[in-house]
Amino acid sequence: MSGVHFLVLLFHASRESVKGVIIQGKYYDLLPEVTNASILSPLKEASVERPLLCAALCKRYARTLGAPVRIPASAFLSPAFDFRSILLDSERDPVCSIYTVGMEGGDELTCRLGGPNSQVGAAVGTTSKLYLNSARVPQDYVFGMVTSGKIYFLKKLLANYNYTNAKAACEAGGGQLAMDNRGDDWHNYIKAYITVHYWIGGDDLNPSLIYTWRDGSLMSQPKSYWCTSQPDRHNHCASMRGAPANTTDTSQLCWDDVACASQIPSLCEIGIP
């Protein structure tokens, strides 16, 4: 019963809009492109009456996995109790960064909270919408695609850097150099997104001289998109060629190894959660 009171109090300090939900000044963006989202191994699952209540659950979910915030029963009897002391604890923010809410067969809305180890995907037969805490998305990142278990965002750094500084620049902005290793849909999305010649996060600067992504996985897996006759091995850092001027021919958008000291823009990414 105490939980019901808690949510009612939250409701008065909150609102919903077509773009998302605001809880105590904290924004949860609705990703309209994702209409059948699913969170695997959620932190918590609950039935709710409105999406707003799912946001409230996400907001108050504690850092300790599996343990909701405990509110003493006496708090609800005391007009002096400051609920903001619970709600504004930024230490809790990283725990529930995403949630889905929607119909899954019955009449009730199902709310699933996602944490750092949750995987996001599409589920056939559901109409769940996906919301994420906008504070988790660094500045200037644009929603790309839900793939490989995460929600991916991209950002173009148009300033020219060498490869080492490009990696550092992406990291300084909260992301990393983008990896084009999530299949054809992701590759095609990147091709449609980029404009010029960008650094991507792969090189053969290792003792074996094998092209690997920044996470150590092989650039040949699951599939590579090298341009014809590339890599030509004269250089050691991977880039994505942009489209030639005044053409819509994306067949020329492919990977090319170039000198790591080259000064070109960078494609950064972040995967949430």
Q: Could you list the residues that contact Ca ion (CB under 5 A)?
A: 230, 232, 256-257
Reduced DSSP (H G I as helix, E B as strand, rest coil) percent helix, strand, coil of the chain, to 5: 20, 35, 45
Where are the extended beta strands (E) located within the chain? 14-17, 20-23, 26-31, 37-40, 44-48, 98-103, 109-114, 119-122, 129-133, 142-147, 150-161, 176-177, 198-203, 212-213, 237-240, 255-258, 264-272
| Least distance between Ca ion and beta carbon 235 (Å) | 5
Judged by beta carbon, residue 51 or residue 202, the one nearer Ca ion is: 202
Judged by beta carbon, residue 204 or residue 256, the one nearer Ca ion is: 256
| Least distance between Ca ion and beta carbon 185 (Å) | 26
93, two tokens: 């923010």
Judged by beta carbon, residue 133 or residue 239, the one nearer Ca ion is: 239
Let me know: does 88 contact 95? Beta carbons within 8 Å. no
Q: Any idea what DSSP says for residue 68?
A: B
Judged by beta carbon, residue 153 or residue 211, the one nearer Ca ion is: 211
Q: Which residue lies nearest Ca ion, judged by its C-beta?
A: 257
Per the document, the length of the chain is: 273
Q: Where are the alpha helices (DSSP H) in the chain?
A: 2-11, 51-60, 84-87, 163-172, 184-193
| Least distance between Ca ion and beta carbon 265 (Å) | 17
| Least distance between Ca ion and beta carbon 179 (Å) | 19
| Least distance between Ca ion and beta carbon 227 (Å) | 8
Judged by beta carbon, residue 139 or residue 229, the one nearer Ca ion is: 229
